[in-house]
């Protein structure tokens, strides 16, 4: 009997350690009111994306749910309007696997929405499922699609600066190794899928890093965010049905709820004073050092150039804002900080800086500070 009690006590103690170190997520604070601001959240019909959109809506933002399924996207918009009390939540169709869909979304958004203050790339896949495409579907959905969408929406982000871009990545990026000789090769088999997923998450981290370099001085900042181990559809989507009854209770015990997983992306989108950390990787609502492969500026720039080609962006691509698409309201606040803030934020110091030229024509690098080597114990 004593042995059983001792064993139960040890298990409980172990779970408490796991819970407070892995499962329990710190709460995001940041800007209290987002009235007058507009946010786009991709993949916001469920999981982390839906909880992220809910919190933005509760703070008064106009939120665009960019989702592939119209039925699920409109249902999510209805649910979020009911739960948040904010009617400024709308659905727009976006399929990141289709570059044509990405362009169509950007055209629709730019022609109907005068502002864009926060862009959160949450949508992603962990497996190709039964789909067989002539390209790397994991890289397309997790990186190339978001890359193209960011590129097309940059004029609006710059016009509304200070603004932010958040790319939801993963700790799986540590296993990624980009091979530029076969970057877009189709993925076949679960081993290749695991590798391709890690590669796409590494691409997310490098993309945020290079984007911050390209946008230095524009008032647009960007961050890579790791939501932590989350019990979401992404986790169970490709698990065999017979295995789900066994995994679901375990997932409930050791994985975060989607609301907890949304905290770090929200922190990157809302926390004041982190502008100098643009381009960095965040986990558990704090900046975290990454391995050398994830902070290699040369590889990040090479990925940028390869992504331009894979996204179909030619040197003639027009990304400058059209005057007739920018009906700016002079009465709308342009800072992500609260209108009641007593101190000016770092955002406000960039408000009058010149616009960035067409990123597809950039042929030089802007030097950036590199963070020190991570300390090992």
Rounded Cα distance between 2 and 128, Å, is 50
What is the token pair recorded at 343? 């101190």
CB atoms within 10 A of CB 369: 6
Euclidean distance between the first and final Cα of the chain, in Å? 40
Pick from 158, 87, 76: which is nearest to 119 by CA? 158
Cα 292 to Cα 139, 168, 183, 239, 258, distances in angstroms? 21, 20, 20, 32, 30
- Tell me how many degrees the CA angle 170-172-178 measures, rounded to the nearest 5: 110
Cα 151 to Cα 148, 155, 157, 202, 321, distances in angstroms? 5, 8, 10, 19, 12
Task: Pick the catalytic residue from 15, 20, 197, 223.
Answer: 197
15 a catalytic residue: no
Cis peptide before 162 (omega within 30 of 0): yes
What is the token pair recorded at 72? 């699920």
CB atoms within 10 A of CB 301: 17
| Ramachandran angles phi, psi of 39, nearest 5° | -125, 145
Radius of gyration of the chain (CA): 21
Active site residues: 197
């Amino acid at each position: 009997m004593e042995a059983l009690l001792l064993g139960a006590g040890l298990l409980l103690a172990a779970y408490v350690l796991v819970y407070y170190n892995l499962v329990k997520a710190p709460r995001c604070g940041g800007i209290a009111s987002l009235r007058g601001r507009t946010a786009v959240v991709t993949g916001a019909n469920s999981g982390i994306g839906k909880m992220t959109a809910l919190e933005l809506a509760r703070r008064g933002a106009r939120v665009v749910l960019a989702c592939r399924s119209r039925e699920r996207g409109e249902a999510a918009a209805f649910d979020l309007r009911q739960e948040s009390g904010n009617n400024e939540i709308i659905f727009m169709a976006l399929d990141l696997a289709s570059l044509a869909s990405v362009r169509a979304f950007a055209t629709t958004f730019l022609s109907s929405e005068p502002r864009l203050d926060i862009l959160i790339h949450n949508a992603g896949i962990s497996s190709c499922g039964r789909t067989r495409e002539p390209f790397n579907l994991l890289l397309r959905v997790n990186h190339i699609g978001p890359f193209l969408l960011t590129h097309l929406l940059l004029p609006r982000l710059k016009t509304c600066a200070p603004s932010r871009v958040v790319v939801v990545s993963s700790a799986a990026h540590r296993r990624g190794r980009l091979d530029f000789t076969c970057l877009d090769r189709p993925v076949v088999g679960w081993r290749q899928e695991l590798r391709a997923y890690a590669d796409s998450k590494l691409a997310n981290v490098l993309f945020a890093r290079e984007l911050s370099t390209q946008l230095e001085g524009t008032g647009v900042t960007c961050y890579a965010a790791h939501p932590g181990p989350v019990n979401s559809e992404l986790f169970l989507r490709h698990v065999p049905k017979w295995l789900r009854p066994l995994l679901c209770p375990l997932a409930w015990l050791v994985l975060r709820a989607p609301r907890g997983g949304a905290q770090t992306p929200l922190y990157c989108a809302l926390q004041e004073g982190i502008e100098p950390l643009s381009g960095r990787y965040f986990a558990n609502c704090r900046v975290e050092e990454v391995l050398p492969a994830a902070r290699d500026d040369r590889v990040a720039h090479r990925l940028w150039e390869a992504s331009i080609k894979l996204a179909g962006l030619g040197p003639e691509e027009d990304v400058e804002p059209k005057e007739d698409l920018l009906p700016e309201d002079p009465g709308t606040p342009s800072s992500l900080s609260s209108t009641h803030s007593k101190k000016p934020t770092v955002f406000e110091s960039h408000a009058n800086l010149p616009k960035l030229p067409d990123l597809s024509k950039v042929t030089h690098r802007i030097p950036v500070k590199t963070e020190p080597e991570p300390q090992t114990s």
